Structure 1
Amino acid sequence: MKNTKTTLLSLAGAVAVSLSSAAMAGYPEKPINVIVPWGAGGDSDLTTRIWADAVEKELGVPVVVINKAGGGGVVGTSFVANAKKDGYTLINAGLSNMLVTPNFSKTPYTFDTFTPILKMTSVPLAVVVAKDSPYKTFDEFIAGAKANNLTQGSWGASSSGTILANIIADQAGYKVKYVHAKGAADSMVSVVGGHIDSAVSFPPAFGPHVKADRARALVINQKMDDYPGVPTFGDYGIQGSFGGWSGVFAPKGVPQEVVEKLTAATTKVMQDPEVIKKYQNIGAVVDYRHGPEWVSDMKVTYNIMKDAAAKAKK
């Protein structure tokens, strides 16, 4: 009797696993929602939309990008942290909402709340002013910030933008008053509108304004062909990496089949010249990564940020 019972339980378990695998083999069977925890038009929004448009053709279902801004990325990120672990609700992940904010402020999630799936792009940070700004160079901006109470747009007190901007300002010897917006795109609107003196921003957000001669990049993380003549932070003796990135995470516990299908689709589209060109057009660099080595690299950065936050609280 005992053997019979054990056999029946084993069969039941096998059937359950089989049914689960069969169900997941059909993934995706309905639209996938990707939450961008920032406003529309910023670097995170644009890079995610390019990815979504490309992979939905491979997956055969709509991949819908939804902006859920607020709290320096915490609102949208927390929403996904509590979503079903079925692969149909994903989060646009980046330096700010995954590696910086959980360490510098109290959030209902940490890096370990999610399953990292893939990284799409990298983008360099820049300090940007309006075209008619009296500060034509970063040297002039530094002098102006030392003499006046200049304002600088960012996207949350504990966001990567503000953290990195503080590092830059500290090394260059100036201070600014931060004006926080829902995202880099909103900050740029305030810059070109003359409401704030400057902003820290990424090419997808500031690029269109610079190319339309409405704004000027004073200094940037790395040399870029699209912005010839713009000096780097290194040129000013400022040490550190000031680059953002855009990726896709899922709530922790999502089936491995979801990860595999999304990375397989992404691996294909990231080799498409048209997709690469779209990213280049917004100033983003294709930096496709996934897997254990990438996750380990992020954890190193996460712990660096954790240590920096601990020192800042002393």
Structure 2
Amino acid sequence: MFRQLKKAATFAAAVLATTTLVSTAQAADYPEKAITLVVPYGAGGASDLAGRALAETARNYTNEQPVVVVNKTGNGGMNGARYVTEQKPDGYTLLLSRVGMALYPAVYTDSPVAWDDYTFLGILESTPMILAVNANSDIKTVDELLAKIKSSNGATTYAASGPTAIDGFTVQALLADADLDPLSASTLVPYKGGSALAAALLGGHVDFLAIAAGSLMPHIEAGKMRALMVYAPKRMDALPDVPTAKELGYNLAGQVDGWSALFAPKDLPEDVVAKWKDILSNVATNDQWLDLAKKRGSVSVVGDQDPAAFVKSQYELYNGMAKKFGYIQ
């Protein structure tokens, strides 16, 4: 009996050792095939541009394996996010995350994906939001805009994807900071996508907006829009004279910022996590990545902060605003 138990224990140990060696070898060889990078929003938007920039740059450090971008849209980005969380945690399906992955579950209690249903690989970039008006507007400052809003009794309009989208919260946070009703002081006019939002302002269909810099910078540089304020930790190099919300003393608005990150399914093996940390450390100093970030109005922040702690803080920020503004009872 003792001999049988000893033999069984020896066999189990051998199996465990073999499994460990195979697992280690697989991780060491990762990646051995193409990696799918899911972008949960449409082509041409800020997330898509960030995803394609990462794919183009990261392939220099992925054993020559391609990183293939796939757009899976719908439900505020949750369709793509849910798809990734349901995949095998082997490092071959990743998510180009945006602020919506923290914001959506912060606002909707029935969100199909929780904010922490991922392995967090890294925060990639800060994508500043810009408060802007049409260049033909007589409004030159944030104070002038707020004065107009106060006197309009809700008649001023702004374009946004929706009240609980990031570009809705940009405006509502500012209104709340100015002691105005975030839901009624100005009227939200919904549009889908950055290009449609920008077109609404260019066409004079709305009075102002506050959306991602990537969608506005070409029009600002062309002299067709006027930037009033930047939602970012610091001033943008391309707009050195435009103050940040924090500089102007707006507490809630000063915490709002767009961002891109790289997520994976939960329980990704530590060796694969380590591999991606190494890949991202190379991406962080890659001239191509830095140049593409600059061109789309973003600031690379790869390696600057703990991704899990950052995403948690973002979830708490928007969950707090959702409760304050009455979206969650």
For normalisation by structure 2, the TM-score amounts to 0.85
2:311 corresponds to which letter in structure 1? M
Residue matched to 1:306: 319
Query: Could you say if the C-alpha distance between residues 254 and 234 of structure 1 is closer, same or farther in structure 2, counting changes exceeding 3 Å?
Result: closer
**Residue-pair matches, total:** 312
Structure with more of its chain in helix, by fraction: 1
For normalisation by structure 1, the TM-score amounts to 0.88
State the distance in 2 between where 1:136 and 1:38 align: 33
Residue matched to 2:39: 36
State the distance in 2 between where 1:5 and 1:69 align: 51
**Greater Rg by CA:** 2
Asked whether the 8 Å contact 2:35–2:67 carries over to 1, the reply is yes
The alignment-based identity, stated in percent, is 30
Instruction: For residue 304 of structure 1, report the CA deviation from its aligned partner.
Output: 4.2
State the distance in 2 between where 1:110 and 1:86 align: 20
Query: Could you say if the C-alpha distance between residues 87 and 204 of structure 1 is closer, same or farther in structure 2, counting changes exceeding 3 Å?
Result: same
Residue matched to 2:295: 281
Query: Could you say if the C-alpha distance between residues 143 and 306 of structure 1 is closer, same or farther in structure 2, counting changes exceeding 3 Å?
Result: closer
State the distance in 2 between where 1:203 and 1:299 align: 24
State the distance in 1 between where 2:322 and 2:287 align: 40
| Structure 1 residue ranges (4+ consecutive) displaced by more than 6 angstroms after TM superposition | none
Q: Using the TM superposition, name which of 83-92 and 174-183 deviates more.
A: 174-183
Q: Deviations over 1:146-179 (max 9, x none)?
A: 3152332223432233223211112223622223
Asked whether the 8 Å contact 1:41–1:205 carries over to 2, the reply is no
Residue matched to 2:245: 233
Tell me whether 1:224 sits opposite 2:228 in the alignment: no
Asked whether the 8 Å contact 1:69–1:182 carries over to 2, the reply is no
Aligned partner (choices 153, 160, 167) of residue 154 of structure 1 = 160
Residue matched to 1:178: 188
Residue matched to 1:140: 144
Aligned partner (choices 261, 275, 283) of residue 275 of structure 2 = 261
Instruction: For residue 307 of structure 1, report the CA deviation from its aligned partner.
Output: 4.1
Instruction: For residue 200 of structure 1, report the CA deviation from its aligned partner.
Output: 1.5
Structure 2: segments with no counterpart, 5+ residues: none
5 Å matches for 1:1-314?
1-59=4-62, 60-97=64-101, 99-105=102-108, 106-146=110-150, 147=152, 149-172=155-178, 173=180, 175-221=185-231, 222-234=234-246, 236-239=248-251, 240-289=254-303, 293-311=306-324, 312=326, 313-314=328-329
State the distance in 2 between where 1:228 and 1:11 align: 64
State the distance in 2 between where 1:178 and 1:282 align: 26
Asked whether the 8 Å contact 1:207–1:283 carries over to 2, the reply is yes
State the distance in 2 between where 1:308 and 1:139 align: 23
Query: Could you say if the C-alpha distance between residues 28 and 184 of structure 1 is closer, same or farther in structure 2, counting changes exceeding 3 Å?
Result: same
State the distance in 1 between where 2:190 and 2:33 align: 36
Q: Deviations over 1:179-225 (max 9, x none)?
A: 34444344223322444333221222211221122322122134223
